[in-house]
Amino acid sequence: MKPILPLLMLLSIPHLATANAVADSPETTQVLDTIIVHATQPTNSDAPFSFDKSDYQGDLTKLPIGVFDSGIGGLTVLEAILSLDAFNNDNLRPEADGRPDFANERFIYLGDQANMPYGNYAARRKEDYLRELILKDTLFLLGKRSFDMPTSTKPRFDKPPVKAIVIACNTATAYGLEDVRQAIQKWGIPVFVVGVVEAGARGVNELISPTDAPSTIAIMATVGTCASNAYPKAIDRVTGLAGKRIPTVIQQGSVALAGAIEGDPAFVKNPHGSNSATIADYIQNDVTSLVENYRQSGPKEPIKMVVLGCTHFPLVEEEILKAFERLRTMDSNNDGKLPYQQLVAEHLQVVDPAKLVAKELFRRLAADRLRLTGTQASILKEDSFYMSVPSPNVAASLKTTNGDLTVEHKYGRETGKLYVEDTRVVPMRVEMLPESSRKLIQNRLPQVWKRLGK
Ligand code: DGL
């Protein structure tokens, strides 16, 4: 067996368990109020993090739909949206009709790569800064402002605004969904917002039957999502409302897996030799830590269900399942006893919230009469993909040798500096992504690849 302890040390970040992600402090309210005012001041119409409310008058049907995540993870949600065929496109009945449900719609995707991992802000007590980032992502989607290239001297203003927003990130949903909804309500624009956590809880609920024996559900997510307790709360609520037995929920926060999936050299084996851990190492350690902690908490029923509570994780779903299976059949003490066999069900059920998010998006568009039907066409010819990059104006001392923001800078920033753009949004091109993430998209997300990989 591979040694797991050195990597497990990475996971033991103090005060994670107590980080309260969702409490409203006076500072938090101020973050929201400041950005709400900044975003629509008439004198600010060209400023960063602003949008023009007059774009939201009249018929919005032809506008694209915005989807955002901290990185490429949200592309797993976009893939589910693009490939959904759960409805009849003509009469809206819940039956497949052989046509993609969003055939006429176009999408604008944003991955906030320069500021990720979102999952690690709470552990550094930077929840408010994370909330500001989530509102900035929203403002990018509502506005028209972007940059041609990382080195462009001026922004351009031709990106179309969006008619709906999907927060395709569990961490951003846990920390920012309510802020985004409140801000949109204060701006008085008819844009609805769909998040991923509630959808995950509904996915769990669908798999539990009222006659089931007690079961345990494992949430694999970022440390931030776990610290927020968004999943245990949502599962309690949804299963309770459905009159079902509330399952035991255990959580494993991963410090590094999302970053490793992004190919971020801070987290994963890289040619400069500064890190030798692989994606498989992180998965094995996260799964081992989860099940071992569960074992130590006393005899229980086996884990039956695993929720992929980070949108990056469906990209490595097979590897996660293999890690559970490996543990289940592992004779760790070479004594013929299998210490984890009783703790992991032989056939694990996997919940990926993405498909439920796609269905919710369809229903909301239909209910708000915002769907493009028949031969109606979006104002956007093709889906467009954007990502954030560090601004060239950031001092070299605040960047790593790869050009990324240093960890100290990333997690040392203060809220409220809305005219300072240390990152900027540019079109995402496949060659800008590390080869490893490019391959994951190509192999696992065919609909997205068709559009992005052109
Ligand atoms: N994809 C994001 C999520 O679903 C998290 C990745 C990150 O930590 O930035 O939570």
- What are the pLDDT digits (tens) for 141-158? 999 999 999 999 899 999
pLDDT band at 16 (very low <50, low <70, confident <90, very high): very low
Query: What pLDDT is recorded for position 453?
Result: 76
CATH 3.40.50.1860 fits domain 26-54+61-198+356-452: yes
The pick from 13, 75, 118, 126 for probing ligand 1's pocket by mutation, whose C-beta has the most ligand atoms within 8 angstroms, reads 118
Question: Is the predicted pLDDT of residue 222 greater than 90, yes or no?
Answer: yes
CA of 67 to the centre of ligand 1 (A): 14
Ligand 1 atom having least distance to the Cα of 258: 6
Query: What pLDDT is recorded for position 26?
Result: 61
Identify whether the C-beta of residue 376 lies closer than 8 Å to the C-beta of residue 61: yes
Ligand 1 atom having least distance to the Cα of 310: 4
- Range with the lowest mean pLDDT among 97-111, 128-142, 272-286, 420-434? 272-286
Query: What pLDDT is recorded for position 20?
Result: 37
Question: Is the predicted pLDDT of residue 229 greater than 50, yes or no?
Answer: yes
Instruction: Please compute the mean of the pLDDT values over residues 33-59 and round it to a whole number.
Output: 90
Query: What pLDDT is recorded for position 7?
Result: 41
Query: What pLDDT is recorded for position 15?
Result: 31
CA of 339 to the centre of ligand 1 (A): 31
Sign of the Cα torsion 182, 187, 192, 194 reads negative
Identify whether the C-beta of residue 238 lies closer than 8 Å to the C-beta of residue 202: yes
Instruction: Please compute the mean of the pLDDT values over residues 78-98 and round it to a whole number.
Output: 97
Question: Is the predicted pLDDT of residue 57 greater than 80, yes or no?
Answer: yes
pLDDT band at 27 (very low <50, low <70, confident <90, very high): low
> Does residue 127 sit in helix, strand or coil?
helix
257 lines ligand 1 (CB under 6 A): no
Ligand 1 atom having least distance to the Cα of 118: 9
Ligand 1 atom having least distance to the Cα of 221: 10
310 lines ligand 1 (CB under 6 A): yes
Instruction: Please compute the mean of the pLDDT values over residues 412-424 and round it to a whole number.
Output: 94
Which residue in 20, 23, 4 sits closest to 12, CA to CA?
4
Instruction: Please compute the mean of the pLDDT values over residues 18-25 and round it to a whole number.
Output: 45
Query: What pLDDT is recorded for position 354?
Result: 98
Query: How is the chain split into domains, by residue range?
Result: 9-18+212-352, 26-54+61-198+356-452
pLDDT digits (tens, 9 = 90+) for 311-342: 999 999 999 999 999 999 998 888 888 999 99
Instruction: Please compute the mean of the pLDDT values over residues 207-230 and round it to a whole number.
Output: 93
118 lines ligand 1 (CB under 6 A): yes
How far lies 203's CA from each of 221, 231, 320, in Å?
A: 15, 12, 18
Identify whether the C-beta of residue 47 lies closer than 8 Å to the C-beta of residue 62: no
Please give the residue that has the higher pLDDT: either 337 or 42: 337
Question: Is the predicted pLDDT of residue 139 greater than 80, yes or no?
Answer: yes
169 lines ligand 1 (CB under 6 A): yes
Query: What pLDDT is recorded for position 25?
Result: 62
Q: How is 356-421 classified by DSSP, letter by letter?
A: HHHHHHHHHHHHTT----TT---SSSS-EEEEEEE-TTS-GGGB-TTSPBPHHHHHH--TT-TT--
Please give the residue that has the higher pLDDT: either 269 or 151: 151
pLDDT band at 28 (very low <50, low <70, confident <90, very high): low
Query: What pLDDT is recorded for position 273?
Result: 65
Do 9-18+212-352 and 26-54+61-198+356-452 have matching folds? yes
Query: What pLDDT is recorded for position 213?
Result: 82
Q: Which residue has the tokens 């046509």?
A: 99
pLDDT band at 271 (very low <50, low <70, confident <90, very high): low
Instruction: Please compute the mean of the pLDDT values over residues 381-409 and round it to a whole number.
Output: 95
Query: What pLDDT is recorded for position 21?
Result: 42
Instruction: Please compute the mean of the pLDDT values over residues 170-181 and round it to a whole number.
Output: 97
What is the CATH code of the structural domain delimited by 9-18+212-352? 3.40.50.1860
Ligand 1 atom having least distance to the Cα of 309: 4
